[in-house]
């Protein structure tokens, strides 16, 4: 099947590569990266720290949202209590 002709090379490209090693073999890419491994580990560490900062910020926002919701409920209860007092006691006051 692979006799070196252009048709056999075309048949290799008819279906997409299923693995990185197969893609590199087809493209004749080097297996090693030009940058050192610690550079990518350092970038990964920066991304993880940034992700942790975002998660902490998200947690702070959620706690603030919970505090605001509790405050809204307290205000609602106070307004309902004032309305009930207004309806019950104001008409019975002497004029």
Structural domains of the chain, count = 2
83 three-class SS: helix
Range of the domain at 11: 1-32
Residues 72 and 53 both lie in one domain: yes
Residues 42 and 22 both lie in one domain: no
Residues 10 and 40 both lie in one domain: no
Backbone Cα Rg of the chain: 34
| The model's pTM | 0.47
- Regarding predicted confidence, which is higher, 39 or 90? 39
Spatial neighbors of 26 by CB under 8 A, at least 6 apart, are: 12, 13, 17
Residues 60 and 80 both lie in one domain: yes
Alpha carbons 84 and 78: distance in angstroms, whole number:
10
Residues 92 and 48 both lie in one domain: yes
Structure confidence by residue, pLDDT tens digits, 41-85: 888 999 999 999 999 999 999 999 999 999 999 999 999 999 998
């Amino acid at each position: 099947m692979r006799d070196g002709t252009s048709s056999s090379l075309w048949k290799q490209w008819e279906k997409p590569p299923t693995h990185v090693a197969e893609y590199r073999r087809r493209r004749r890419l080097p297996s090693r990266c030009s940058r050192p491994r610690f550079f990518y580990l350092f970038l990964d560490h920066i991304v993880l720290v940034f992700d942790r900062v975002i998660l902490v910020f998200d947690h702070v926002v959620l706690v603030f949202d919970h505090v605001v919701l509790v405050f809204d409920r307290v205000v609602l209860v106070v307004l309902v209590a004032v309305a009930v007092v207004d309806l019950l006691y104001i008409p019975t006051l002497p004029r």
